Amino acid sequence: MPLSVKERSARYRQKLKGNPVLREEKLAKRKESYHRRKQALNGRNPDHPSIKDVSAADAEKRREHWRETQKKFRKKQKQAKAVLDLTPDSFEAPPENIVNIPEPEPIPLQEVEQRPLSPTHVVNAPLASSTPERLPMRFKKLKKQKRDLNKQLAALQKQLSQTKQRCNTLNKLLKRSKKTRKAKEKVARSEMVLKAKQRKESVISFLCRDENSRLLPGKKDTITKNKVRTQRRVLTKTMKELHALYISEVDTKLCVSYRQFLRLRPFYVTEPKTSDRNTCACIDHENVALLLDKFYQNGLLKTKSTSEMLSAIVCDTHKKQCMYRLCSKCCYNEIEMTLPEDRREIQWQQWEREKTVEDDRTFTHFIKKTHTGTWTELLLLLNRKLDALAKHQYIWLHQVAQCRTLKETLFENEAVVHMDFSENYGCKLSTEVQSFHFGGSRQQATIHTSVVYTKEETQSYATISKSLRHDERAVWAHLQPVLEDLKKRNPLVSVVHFMSDGPLTQYRNKKNFYLISTVPFLLGFQEVTWNFSEKNHGKGAPDGVGGAVKRCADNVVRMGGDIQCPEDLYKVLRDKESTIKFFWIADSDVAKYDEAVPEKLPPVKGTLKVHQITTKVPGKFWHREVSCFCSRTNTTCVCDSPTEINFNREVEVSPQAEAVSAPAPATAENLNGKFVIVQYEDLPFVGQVLLSVGDEVQISCMLQKGNRNNFVWPSPPDEIYYFKTDVKFVIAEPEPSSNRASRLAEKDWETFVQFMN
């Protein structure tokens, strides 16, 4: 049987190992071939190129291969040294016993030479095992190695125990850190939930403000979610405008993104629909919005927001002097833009009041009128409308902020009563004949709604009467049971703040001023304030109460009930389970207030401008142009000085107002911010002190129009340094007489005229 290639190669290698001559020849030929190839390639071996001739990656691989090979080689060496020669026990006997072992007989040399070589014979074979004389030395070496190994083993055992102890400590620390981390995560989650709740409440409170959304008063204006029915509110601005306004007002921790702002909007605050057309829009805001929309549609303005336009012409929308257009820095600011060169006439619309005369009777009605003109005329009209709107906007927003702050910071002895007349309810029956439905047999019921806020609770009221009177005496007939119930539920309440809109026939007139200063004191209250909202901005919570009352009555009729007269309406609503309290107002209750008002009352000058009535003494009250609660919070009043009215005598100015308006000689005290009369070249000038430095003061002077009591701020400002000795009198702040001009108080004007003459 022929041999395989592997077997032939093994025999050839064995032959080379057994024949030194052939082995040397083979190695010499291999070496000569290697050098020949190396010289042919200029010193480079194609099979094993130099590390300098390969790439960096191949060089790194080769070095890694060398390192691995070196590690294996050293490992084999260590293993070879560590191999223990297991010597039989007989060799551990003393040396004298080993001497008695018989030595082998020597083999003759001739016989050795005649013996044939075995195939496995190796010329350089190692010698036989160690002689008996070397065994004690090896024994000592092995014992030493054993001691060293025992020491290493003890060290490793000690290290193992320390490692186990360290591992146990780390496990305890890990468990403790896990518990701490879980506790921190729980606290963080609770804080995150609390912050999310605060953000949501902040957004809801912001969107439910009266200046950001209006409450729909209709009985059908409801929305239901998760079986919760709520009266709808309609946004007055876009969500982007509201988000920008929200970010500018709240703290950093309450800020949210626009997308989150949309998510947090409550379901009952919705975008306006076509059916939600605003039938109580403000004519001033609407006229400006029509003009801005005209410019926006033609690409002349980037926004049609009224608030942004007002911010562009004043320094600060929260400062009274800027919004009243009396600030020396911004009183002449106007909207400027590049108008089209096209001279064609354009059209725009405005709401206007018109009067018609029929049969010697004058009727007033409002129409949306179309005007024609140029772009220049339209821009002038816009600046004039914005100039007049600034004061209206300031009063509205200031009132809303003051009333909201009042509700949030009520004391135990205070209460807020927000009231309004709801639209008269037409009584209905489940089945009506044609003559009743289209005839004049349907009776109407007067509904006066109120929402009372105290520190502990909020209560809604609805008073119903068949009397269709809506005058000031009927108002107090409807308020009397509400105030009596308030006093019964909260005996500590001694201060009442009334809030309402400002129609002249209902709330804002001299007869109601008299009732305000007398009736509450008879009911046990010690201080009363009445706040009238700015025109066309009187919607609030009472409108929602009126819608809920009418919706409840309609549900009764829908289920087969009959409401034929106001008495039936009161009985039906009284028997229903509701959080609203109902009271019946008889005709006699209204009539008794007719006798309570004197026939002749002194007129109250500037009734249309009155926005707050304050009274602490029966028959006497003070009124302001802007609602303010500075006397309650002991803060500096940003509103005008109060004017005192006493119905027991002729109208007079209060001592406080006299002290403010009477000119006083200038002293060395700090004059910063005060209005003064300064002398320059023997002539008097009215101005405001801007800066006081040593013996000099910087004053911004006003310009007098002719010899009249009419002063305006010049452009550019007239700012000059005067000596303090030139400042003659300290006067009150001039009162606005028009959009641009101001006038001095009577005593200040008399002083100015005397000094001028």
Please state, in angstroms and rounded to a whole number, the distance separating the CA atoms of residues 107 and 53.
60
Q: Which long-range contacts (CB under 8 A, 24 or more apart) does 73-80 make?
A: none
Average pLDDT, the chain: 81
Look at 488-502, 662-676, 686-700 and tell me which has the smallest mean pLDDT.
662-676
**723: Cβ–Cβ under 8 A, 6 or more apart, which residues?**
695, 696, 697
Report pLDDT for 462: 93
Please state, in angstroms and rounded to a whole number, the distance separating the CA atoms of residues 500 and 531.
6
Select the more confidently predicted residue: 272 or 409: 409
Report pLDDT for 739: 67
Please state, in angstroms and rounded to a whole number, the distance separating the CA atoms of residues 624 and 614.
8
**657: Cβ–Cβ under 8 A, 6 or more apart, which residues?**
641, 642, 643, 644
Q: Is 593:515 a contact under the CB 8 Å cutoff?
A: yes
pLDDT range class, residue 486, cuts 50, 70, 90:
very high
Length of the chain: 757
> What is the bridge-based pairing of β-strands 675-680 and 683-693?
antiparallel
Matching residue, tokens 């109060």: 642
Q: Is 394:320 a contact under the CB 8 Å cutoff?
A: yes
Look at 67-81, 424-438, 446-460, 662-676 and tell me which has the smallest mean pLDDT.
662-676
Matching residue, tokens 């109580």: 280
Q: Is 415:453 a contact under the CB 8 Å cutoff?
A: yes
- The letter for the amino acid at 444 is Q
Quote the distance between the C-alpha of residue 564 and its chain's center: 51
List pLDDT tens digits, range 201-234: 899 988 988 778 878 877 677 888 888 888 888 8
Q: Is 234:214 a contact under the CB 8 Å cutoff?
A: yes
Q: What percent of the chain has pLDDT over 90?
A: 13
Report pLDDT for 53: 78
pLDDT range class, residue 45, cuts 50, 70, 90:
low
Please state, in angstroms and rounded to a whole number, the distance separating the CA atoms of residues 571 and 569.
6
With CA atoms as reference, report the closest residue to 471 among 511, 433, 439. 511
Please state, in angstroms and rounded to a whole number, the distance separating the CA atoms of residues 548 and 229.
10
Select the more confidently predicted residue: 360 or 214: 214
Strand partners, 701: 687, 718
**Angle separating helix axes 306-313 and 375-408, nearest 10 degrees:** 100
**691: Cβ–Cβ under 8 A, 6 or more apart, which residues?**
672, 697, 698
Select the more confidently predicted residue: 154 or 538: 154
Q: Is 306:389 a contact under the CB 8 Å cutoff?
A: yes
Please state, in angstroms and rounded to a whole number, the distance separating the CA atoms of residues 230 and 213.
15
Domain boundaries, the chain: 1-38, 41-71, 283-395, 409-655, 662-756
Give the chain's largest Cα–Cα span: 171
Q: For the chain, how are helix, strand and coil distributed in percent, rounded to 5?
A: 45, 20, 35
The 8-class DSSP code of residue 739 comes to S
Report pLDDT for 296: 85
With CA atoms as reference, report the closest residue to 313 among 334, 292, 285, 299. 334
Q: Is 677:755 a contact under the CB 8 Å cutoff?
A: yes
Please state, in angstroms and rounded to a whole number, the distance separating the CA atoms of residues 257 and 261.
6
List pLDDT tens digits, range 452-463: 999 889 999 999
pLDDT range class, residue 657, cuts 50, 70, 90:
very low
Report pLDDT for 354: 81
Instruction: For residue 160, give both structure tokens.
Output: 């193992």
With CA atoms as reference, report the closest residue to 15 among 121, 114, 115. 121
pLDDT range class, residue 117, cuts 50, 70, 90:
very low
What ranges in 420-565 are assigned the alpha helix state H? Answer: 434-438, 472-489, 510-516, 519-522, 541-558
pLDDT range class, residue 755, cuts 50, 70, 90:
confident
Q: Which of 47-56, 355-364, 517-526, 668-677 has the largest mean confidence? A: 517-526
- The letter for the amino acid at 203 is V
Report pLDDT for 358: 73
pLDDT range class, residue 14, cuts 50, 70, 90:
confident
CB atoms within 10 A of CB 226: 5
List pLDDT tens digits, range 737-754: 776 788 888 888 888 888
With CA atoms as reference, report the closest residue to 230 among 553, 577, 551. 551
pLDDT range class, residue 648, cuts 50, 70, 90:
low
Give the up-direction half-sphere exposure of residue 487: CA atoms within 13 A in the CB hemisphere: 16
Instruction: For residue 161, give both structure tokens.
Output: 């125990």
Please state, in angstroms and rounded to a whole number, the distance separating the CA atoms of residues 50 and 74.
25
Q: Is 421's pLDDT higher than 80?
A: yes
Q: Is 414's pLDDT higher than 80?
A: yes
The three-class DSSP label of residue 451 is strand
The 8-class DSSP code of residue 64 comes to H
E strands, 157-279, where? 213-215, 222-225, 228-231, 233-235, 269-270
What ranges in 653-731 are assigned the alpha helix state H? Answer: 655-661
The three-class DSSP label of residue 142 is helix
Select the more confidently predicted residue: 218 or 105: 218
Q: Is 258's pLDDT higher than 80?
A: yes
> What is the bridge-based pairing of β-strands 580-585 and 458-465?
parallel
Q: Is 168's pLDDT higher than 70?
A: yes
Q: Is 124's pLDDT higher than 80?
A: no
**554: Cβ–Cβ under 8 A, 6 or more apart, which residues?**
219, 428
Report pLDDT for 70: 93
The dihedral sign for the CA sequence 153, 154, 155, 159: positive
Look at 151-165, 271-285, 409-423 and tell me which has the smallest mean pLDDT.
271-285
> What is the bridge-based pairing of β-strands 620-624 and 612-617?
antiparallel
Q: Is 211:397 a contact under the CB 8 Å cutoff?
A: yes
CB atoms within 10 A of CB 581: 17
CB atoms within 10 A of CB 469: 17
Look at 241-255, 375-389, 513-527, 592-606 and tell me which has the smallest mean pLDDT.
592-606
Q: Is 627's pLDDT higher than 80?
A: no
Instruction: For residue 493, give both structure tokens.
Output: 């309440």
With CA atoms as reference, report the closest residue to 47 among 31, 56, 65, 34. 34
91 phi, psi to nearest 5 deg: -75, -10
pLDDT range class, residue 112, cuts 50, 70, 90:
very low
CB atoms within 10 A of CB 72: 10
Matching residue, tokens 């005209």: 294
> What is the bridge-based pairing of β-strands 495-500 and 233-235?
unpaired
For 310, the enclosing helix (H) or strand (E) is helix 306-313
Q: pTM score, two decimals?
A: 0.56
With CA atoms as reference, report the closest residue to 511 among 617, 599, 609. 599
pLDDT range class, residue 107, cuts 50, 70, 90:
low
Matching residue, tokens 């200063």: 517
Q: Which long-range contacts (CB under 8 A, 24 or more apart) does 293-299 make?
A: 294/346, 294/348, 294/378, 295/337, 295/378, 295/382, 298/340
List pLDDT tens digits, range 674-729: 888 988 877 888 998 888 877 888 888 888 877 778 888 887 888 888 888 888 88
> What is the bridge-based pairing of β-strands 495-500 and 527-532?
parallel
